[in-house]
Chain A
Amino acid sequence: MSDTRFPILVGWFTRRTAPAPVDDRSAAPRWIDALLLLALVAVGYGIMRAAAEWRAPLSAGAQINLSIGRLPYYAGLSTLRMTIAYIISLAFSLVYARVAAASRIAERILMPLLDILQSIPILSFMPGVVLGLAALFPGRTIGLELAAVILIFTSQAWNLAFSFHQSLITIPRELSEAAVVYRLGAWRRFTKLELPYGAIALVANSMMSWAGGWFFLMASEQFTLGDKNLRLPGLGSYLARAADVGQTTALVAGLLTLITVIVLLDQLLWRPLVAWSDRFKFEQTGAADAPQSAVLDAVMGSAATRWFSATVARPALSFLDRVLSPQHVAAETSRRGRYRVIPIALAVFAGVALVWLVAAGAWSAARVVSILTWHDWRYVLLCAGATFLRTTVALVLAAAWTIPAGVAIGMNPRLSHRIQPLVQIAASVPATAIFPILLFAMLALPGGLNLAAVGLMLLGTQWYVLFNVIAGAMAIPSDLREAAVTYHVTGWRRWKTLILPAIFPYLVTGMITATGGAWNASIVSEYVTFAGKKVSTLGLGALIAQAADTGRFPLLLAGTLVMSAIVIAGNRLVWRRLYALAESRFRLE
């Protein structure tokens, strides 16, 4: 479900030009080698510095230096944290999706579980996680670092796992049979078939995951435990501190740094990756327009890369290949037994563990929550209602501006070409980073936090809707548009008969993601610490954040459960049905 939108987006994210001849890369200039080497040294040094930071003793409220010269250092630390979380997310996703696809039983347990996991507001659990990890490494920063990584992980992993699972179950049957007939074995099947087949979707979802990670940049670098304020050095805490003490220059400089980091990553990492992964496109004929990246061409063509590939990467891979693939499987005829035993054993084990966890969890949760009175529950529901209204307003506003804008952009290639870089940068800035500015402007107004909260939800979720609407508008076949012109279908009738039905499936896809995002955003937007003061408004997010702040665990748990239930119920009862309707009624084929 969450995967259909990304390939379309990649196309939009990447400039498409005529493909370069295959072998003109060998002529990369020498300075690129020097640059690569320099980058390698820089990364190595950065990791060493960071490691020193991790071993440092834990001091409540680590001092954040607001001088602009410190910004590159903080940005590096934040990026490193994101990278570590991303690597863990990727590894988790590959394993999780592989296990889920291995057997039907495992799939029936693991995929709904993933759906639930992605609906749980993770911020609720942060106090517990931080507490536990801090206890695990008493007096060291590394516990906090782990907590930060875990928080970022939970914002990156789920869509990756969904995407890879989707790829695995859509591998064409004959290809899969060829892998069996030619006895590739599990490891070669994974590296030669499954990973390449899923590569494009994985790259697209990785970009999404990083955007999701940046969203929690600030939340992941500062934790409140009771009356203790714990901070990790990084760009997020820099921004938070700048907002806290009201230093506008620092705030703006921090934001610019963040945008720079995001743009650099896009140019130096994602764009090359998208261009590189194009080779894994599953198509039988060559396409005229493949994504291009000058950076990729330069890196691939450099002598250093070729040396590395020939003397390190290739031998290492073929060694792995030899070690992990059973030789002479030809002699073996009866393999079905072993084939099934492992997945089934895994599934049974996972099933038992899951049932036990769920039972134990439910039992203790029930005990904790049973303390709550009827009065408390009424309050929780009231808060849920308030947040529901807020998310609805945010979604309606998002739809109201993104539908006309997205259709205008999507149906006009020239406009789309010109606006694309701007929208891309605007979308890449995490809403939470702009939030302090929003608070700054709005908190003085009546109902200020209320407005700001809706504003944050809007900022955080409108892009999903916009991108999907653009993709939908671009997908309207030109003969349908021409037919509309020929039969003088104009104005509102054109919207009703052509545009809205055509973009409907895309709109629903965008809205599903946006709804989840809006609820999650309520936790960071309805209860804030600003300029040293705590400000809050009525809402489920505020209830959760406040309960976490003050250590009222029964209320925290109740709020979290209600929020998860609302998101899951909304997905199942509203969005999925609309999605099914869209698939059957409004699909353009």
Chain B
Amino acid sequence: MTTPVQHDHSASALLCAHNVRKVYGDDRTPVLENVSVEMRDGEFVALLGPSGSGKSTLLRIMAGLMSPSAGEVRSHDKILNGPNPDVAIVFQSFALFPWLTVLQNVELGLLAMGVPDDERRKRALKAIDLIGLDGYEEAFPKELSGGMKQRVGFARALVVEPEVLFMDEPFSALDVLTGENLRGELQELWSDRLIPTRAVLMVTHNIDEAVSLADRILVFGANPGHVRVELRGLPLDERRRKGPARAQLVDTIYRIMTNPDEDAVALAEVRTARVAVGRDARGDRAPRRYQAIPDVGIDDLTGFVQYLSGIGGRANLHELSRDLQMRADDLLAIIEATDLLGFADMQERQVFLTQVGQRFAEVDLDEEKSLFRATAIEHISLLRHIVRELETTPTHVIDAEEIVNDLERSFSGAEARRQFETVVDWGRYAELFTYDDKAGELTLDEEHRVDLHAEPFAQDRA
């Protein structure tokens, strides 16, 4: 039933990235690897993925704000070599000039186009009117609420009538209701063709947002950033309505995102026949030495297990996201962490505690720690590696830099640092080792020696 998304390499592509790779500085691991994206006339494309998957980097490369380390970006079949003149961006932080009024901010984009003063004013006022900012022309950004600020961001982008509109997490700095409202208005402008923009590219971490807006959804994976799968969006009339088709697509994406190390194509096929599948998941890249640990602090981790146990040991993802008031990607990271440790499992958008997880929630602090110690050593390859190194070193002290360097063979510089910080957080809590941040040294905690050889190592999931 699955039909791959057909890639028509005809002239209809307004803008495309081809085999883009991006490496920062002298990092050994790229943030983006072999990514190709095509923007066609009339399309709304969403880039969805966890933080650190390079989606914002890709957006900046396609906007010509940075150059790719390898690969190319073509705009109308010409290789892009500098800022892309056909693109306007709506930024996550709004990026308004605080010392300019709303009107001046909106006029900013027109300045460079050499529009005569009168017409510039007229066009800016029209854009302000269109986006619902009437009456705020002379206000300064600091007088406005977040939603109003982002409206200025939209007006500034739309007034230059860009061929392609880029949006970098445009609603994530807004509260839920405001974001929903603005999103609805944007969708109306777009689907009713009230704006001359021919294509939209949106970066988001919000599954709901992607499903209700996009014609095509590219799900990104991290370390290095790559496109795991490309999904076709819902037909227009099913996007906003709560119906089975929508629920199914959301469910599929949840499943794909909570299983970062499984084949996304297979996951998509199993779930739904409606979804067309394009890409291979991991390609022929070398397997990683350690699995990626999600960026979750120990407090969130234990707190989540306690909470889940308190509400009966199982919950629906949507309810969790709503009740805990968490961003979807943060919640997913926590679930992934509990899953990795064997405390929780997920099926059909239901999260439930395993037996171990249930015990973890019930016991007192000492036992909680020893339980965590055992499971973490069993499941987290990096933690196991560190403890083994500490045991075999005569002084039982190792240099943090060694571990970070080792991690940099599998992760980009910033990500390696983050992986290290998380593993230190978990290891300290498990009382496996202590860490002196100033000296940059890990020291084995002699009191809680673990017998690493008691059981054979579980194979890494990756």
Interface residue ranges, A against B (CB under 8 Å): 172, 174-175, 177-178, 180-185, 188, 192-193, 196, 279-286, 321, 325, 327-337, 339, 584
User: Closest Cβ of chain B: how far from A297's Cβ, in Å?
Assistant: 18
| Contact in complex: B82, A334 (CB < 8 Å) | yes
Cβ contacts A to B, 21 pairs, < 8 Å: A177-B63, A177-B65, A178-B91, A178-B97, A181-B83, A183-B85, A192-B97, A196-B97, A279-B99, A282-B98, A283-B142, A284-B141, A325-B112, A328-B113, A329-B85, A333-B75, A333-B78, A333-B80, A335-B81, A336-B81, A337-B81
- Asked if B111 is at the interface of the complex by the 8 Å CB criterion, the answer is yes
Q: B63 → chain A, closest Cβ, in Å? A: 6
Chain A residues within 8 Å of B75, by CB: 333
List, in ascending order, chain A residues with CB within 8 A of B94's CB.
174, 284
The answer to whether the Cβ of B114 comes within 8 Å of any Cβ in the partner chain is: yes
Least CB distance, B64 to chain A, in whole angstroms: 8
With a 10 A CB-CB cut-off, give which of B88, B94, B112 has the most chain A CB atoms. B112
B143 adjacent to A182 (CB under 8 Å): no
A97 to chain B, nearest CB (A): 19
Q: How far is the CA of A488 from the CA of B95 in the complex (A)?
A: 47
Known: A182-B108, A182-B112. A334 touches B81 (CB 8 A): yes
- Bound Cα distance A280, B140 (Å): 11
A174 and B67 alpha carbons, distance in the complex (Å): 17
B residues near A193, Cβ cutoff 8 Å? 97
A179 to chain B minimum Cβ distance, whole angstroms, is 9
In addition to A178-B108, A196-B97, A329-B112, 10 A-B residue pairs with Cβ atoms within 8 Å of each other are A174-B91, A178-B97, A182-B109, A283-B98, A284-B94, A286-B142, A328-B113, A335-B81, A335-B83, A336-B81
Residue from the list A279, A336, A584 in contact with B82, Cβ < 8 A: A336
* B18 CB-CB contact with A under 8 Å: no
Among A279, A333, A334, A584, chain B packs the most CB atoms within 10 A around the CB of A333
Is B93 among interface residues, defined by CB-CB distance under 8 A? yes
| Chain B residues near A584 (CB-CB < 8 A) | 438
In the bound complex, residues from chain B placing their C-beta under 8 Å from that of A336 are 67, 81-82
Residue among A172, A177, A188, A339 with most chain B CB within 10 A = A177
Q: How far, in whole Å, are A182 and B87 apart by their CA atoms in the complex?
A: 9
Q: A279-B99, A280-B99 are in contact. Are A178 and B89 (CB under 8 A)?
A: yes
Q: Are A333 and B85 in contact (CB under 8 A)?
A: yes
Contact partners of A172 in chain B: CB under 8 A:
93, 95
Residue ID in chain A nearest B93 by CB atoms: A174
Q: Which listed residue, A283, A330, A333, touches B112 by the CB 8 Å rule?
A: A330
CA distance A584 to B82 in the complex (A): 39
Instruction: Report the bound CA distance from A339 to B84 in whole Å.
Output: 14
Over the window 89-118 of chain B, the binary record of Cβ atoms lying under 8 Å from chain A Cβ atoms (1 yes, 0 no) is: 101111101111000000011011110000
B105-157 contacts to A, CB under 8 A, are 108-109, 111-114, 140-143, 149, 156
Which chain B residues border A177 with CB–CB below 8 Å?
Answer: 60, 63, 65, 89, 91, 95
Chain A residues near B95 (CB-CB < 8 A): 172, 174-175, 177-178
Task: Please tell me if the beta carbons of B82 and A335 are within 8 angstroms of each other in the complex.
Answer: yes
Q: Which residue of B lies closest to A277 (CB)?
A: B99
Minimum CB distance partner of A180 in chain B: B83
Q: Is the CB of A330 within 8 A of B97?
A: no
The 5 A-B residue pairs with the shortest CB-CB distance in the complex, in nearest-first order = A183-B112, A174-B95, A335-B82, A327-B114, A336-B82
Residue of A172, A181, A188, A282 with most partner-chain B CB within 10 A: A181
Contact B93 A285 (CB under 8 A): no
From A192, A321, A332, B108 is in contact (CB under 8 Å) with A192
Count how many chain B residues have C-beta atoms less than 8 Å from C-beta atoms of the other chain.
39
Closest residue on chain B to residue A195 by CB atoms: B99
Expressed in whole angstroms, the minimum distance between the Cβ of A325 and any Cβ of chain B is 7
Chain B residue contacts of A327, Cβ below 8 A: 114
Residues of A within 8 A of B91 (CB): 174, 177-178
Q: How far apart are B157's CB and chain A's nearest CB, in angstroms?
A: 8
* Chain A residues whose CB sits within 8 angstroms of the CB of B141 once the complex forms: 284
Indicate whether A333 sits within 8 Å of B113 (C-beta atoms), given known contacts A177-B91, A178-B95: no
**In the complex, A279 Cα to B91 Cα: how many Å?**
23
> CB-CB < 8 A to A328: which residues of B?
113-114
Contact B143 A286 (CB under 8 A): yes
A7 to chain B, nearest CB (A): 16
Most buried by A among B81, B111, B114: B111
Q: In the complex the two chains form, what is the Cα distance from A333 to B156 in whole Å? A: 21
Q: Output the nearest chain B residue to A279 by Cβ-Cβ distance.
A: B99
Closest to A581 in B: B438
**Alpha-carbon distance between A336 and B80 when the two chains are bound, in angstroms:** 10
User: Assuming the A-B contacts A280-B98, A286-B143, A336-B67, are A182 and B78 also in contact, with contact meaning beta carbons closer than 8 angstroms in the complex?
Assistant: no
CB distance from B65 to the nearest CB of A (A): 5
Q: Is the CB of B109 within 8 A of A339?
A: no
A175 engages B87 (CB within 8 Å): no
Complex contacts, B17 vs chain A, CB 8 Å: none
The answer to whether B92 and A330 touch across the interface, beta carbons within 8 angstroms, is no
Q: Is A284 touching B149 in the complex (CB atoms < 8 A)?
A: yes
Given contacts A286-B142, A330-B85, contact A180 B99 (CB under 8 A): no
Is A325 within 8 A of B111, CB to CB?
yes
Residues of B within 8 A of A282 (CB): 98
A405–B438 CA distance with the chains assembled, in angstroms: 33
- Chain A residue numbers with a CB within 8 Å of B222 are none
Q: Determine whether the beta carbon of A184 is less than 8 Å from that of B89.
A: no
**Chain A contacts for B213, CB-based, 8 A:** none
Chain B residues with Cβ below 8 Å from A281 are 98
Rounded to whole angstroms, the CA-CA distance of A31 and B123 in the bound complex is 42
Q: Give Cα A181 to B108, complex, Å.
A: 11
Residue of B nearest to A175 (CB): B95
* Residue of B with least CB distance to A283: B142
B160 within 8 A of A: yes
Which residues of the other chain, A, contact B65 by a CB distance below 8 angstroms? 177, 180-181
Chain B residue at smallest Cβ distance from A328: B114
The answer to whether B112 and A185 touch across the interface, beta carbons within 8 angstroms, is yes
On whether the beta carbons of A181 and B98 are closer than 8 Å, the reply is no
Residues of A within 8 A of B83 (CB): 180-181, 183, 335
Smallest Cβ-Cβ distance to B160: which chain A residue: A182
Assess whether B88 is in contact with A181, with CB atoms less than 8 Å apart: yes
Q: How far does the Cβ of B48 sit from chain A's closest Cβ, in whole Å? A: 21
Contacts of A185 in B (CB 8 A): 112
| Chain A proximity mask over B385-423: 1 for CB below 8 Å, otherwise 0 | 000000000000000000000000000000000000000
Contact of B92 among A174, A188, A279, A329 (CB under 8 A): A174
Q: Which A-chain residue is minimally distant from B142 (CB atoms)? A: A286
A337 to B82, CA, bound (A): 9
Given A181-B89, A333-B75, A175 and B97 touching (CB < 8 A)?
yes
Say how far A430's CB is from chain B's closest CB, in angstroms. 34
List of B residues within 8 angstroms of A279 by Cβ: 99, 140
Which of A184, A321, A332, A337 contacts B85, CB < 8 Å?
A332
Cα(A346)–Cα(B157), bound, Å? 34
Q: Which residues of B contact A337 (CB under 8 A)?
A: 81
Given the known interface contacts A193-B97, A283-B142, A285-B142, the answer about A182 and B85 at a Cβ–Cβ threshold of 8 Å is no
Knowing A177-B91, A192-B100 touch, does A184 contact B108 (C-beta < 8 A)?
yes
Residues of B within 8 A of A183 (CB): 83, 85, 109, 112
Tell me, in angstroms, the Cα distance from A334 to B84 when the chains sit together.
Answer: 9
Q: For residues 149 through 202 of chain B, which have their beta carbon under 8 Å from a beta carbon of chain A?
A: 149, 156, 160, 168
B327 → chain A, closest Cβ, in Å? Answer: 19
How far is the CB of B160 from the nearest CB of chain A, in Å? 7
> Nearest chain-B residue to A176 (Cβ)?
B95
- Complex Cα–Cα for A329 and B95 (A): 22
CB distance from A42 to the nearest CB of B (A): 32
Contact at B108–A284, with CB atoms within 8 Å? no
Bound Cα distance A177, B166 (Å)? 13
Q: Are B98 and A284 in contact (CB under 8 A)?
A: yes
A333 to B86 alpha-carbon distance, docked (Å) = 10
